[in-house]
A and B are shown apart, each in its own frame.
Chain A
Amino acid sequence: MNSGETLSKPDLYVLARVIKTLKEKNRLNKTALATVTGLSYDRLVKYLNWMQSKGFIQYDLNDDVVLTKLGSETYDQLVKWILEHIGRVRFQKI
């Protein structure tokens, strides 16, 4: 599998897991991130490439993955978006 491939349509759940983990741990190396998120290394690298191209993450001098401000804001926006939409659906007890 070529780790350099980019994703055409990333899974929202995987993106959310990666970002949430980075938000909690601040910075992690790729192997540890793959372990914590439960992704295979190759798959994680694909996601990281995609996220880097969107400016959601960056690498520090030790090659650890760091979440950018944009990545953090995007995640918050995503949560807010879902909450807004879910919140608009009326769930009265049946």
Chain B
Amino acid sequence: MEEALSQKMNEFMSVIDQVKKYRALLSALPDIAIIMCLALVGVFAAKVWYNLSLIFYIPIFGISTILPFLFVAGGLVAAVFWGYRKMKKVKLGEWKHALNDDAPGAIKLLQSINWEETFKDIRYAKLGFWLYGILRTAIAWLITYSIIMVVAQYLNRVIYLNVNLQLVALFSLALVLALSVNDFKKRFDQIGRLDALLWELRWFDNELRRNPFQT
């Protein structure tokens, strides 16, 4: 019975750890927003530079065409790296040694959980899920767009096929969204599970407070 309790507690604490990770990702949101804003400023600056080069006849050797793309790609990579770094910083599994103590260890862990903080983390983790999904989609879009652009440029050289950039962007976005349907569905289910977990934990917290062994 004590082993079963340790196993259940292990599962429970692992879920709490995962919640903490997504919560950390959400806390990186302001940094990610700043990184993306800087990338957009870079794109804007590249455009201004391109226009100035036309006015003042400055040779730019075609760099202006890939510069905005580099800024967007760099911004996305930096944003993902930053989010990943924040998630990696979360200390996980610190509770594991307590479970060596079997039932008393499980009791200690249950007593040490800050339930209100955990409920708050779960609420924020739900937003973290969406942020993670959006970032993933944005990166997939960028990669798809790059691949299609390379193919389009090749076609342009070989059969003089002129491809509209906006159309490529829209097509790649539609393609990524169509391929991400399952991921979105999974993400939606996960949020449902988090909601269920929140309610179950509220109930458990209530039961723990009025357990018959306290007095």
- Chain A residues proximal to chain B, CB less than 8 Å: 9, 11-13, 15-17, 20, 74-83, 85-94
Per the bound structure, the CA–CA distance linking A80 and B214 in Å amounts to 15
Q: Tell yes or no: B108 within 8 A of A by CB.
A: yes
Per the bound structure, the CA–CA distance linking A11 and B214 in Å amounts to 8
Could you tell me if B19 and A86 are in contact, using CB atoms closer than 8 angstroms? no
Within 8 A of A (CB), among B86-101: 101
CB closest residue in chain B, given A11: B111
Per the bound structure, the CA–CA distance linking A30 and B21 in Å amounts to 44
Could you tell me if A86 and B213 are in contact, using CB atoms closer than 8 angstroms? no
Give every chain B residue within 8 A of A92 (Cβ-Cβ). 193
Secondary structure of the B contact surface, majority rule: helix
Per the bound structure, the CA–CA distance linking A39 and B22 in Å amounts to 38
Give every chain B residue within 8 A of A88 (Cβ-Cβ). 200, 204
Per the bound structure, the CA–CA distance linking A91 and B193 in Å amounts to 9
Could you tell me if B213 and A94 are in contact, using CB atoms closer than 8 angstroms? no
Q: Tell yes or no: B15 within 8 A of A by CB.
A: yes
CB closest residue in chain B, given A21: B104
Could you tell me if B212 and A81 are in contact, using CB atoms closer than 8 angstroms? yes
Per the bound structure, the CA–CA distance linking A60 and B204 in Å amounts to 39
Give every chain B residue within 8 A of A80 (Cβ-Cβ). 1
Among the listed B8, B111, B193, B196, which residue makes an inter-chain contact with A12, where contact means beta carbons less than 8 Å apart? B111
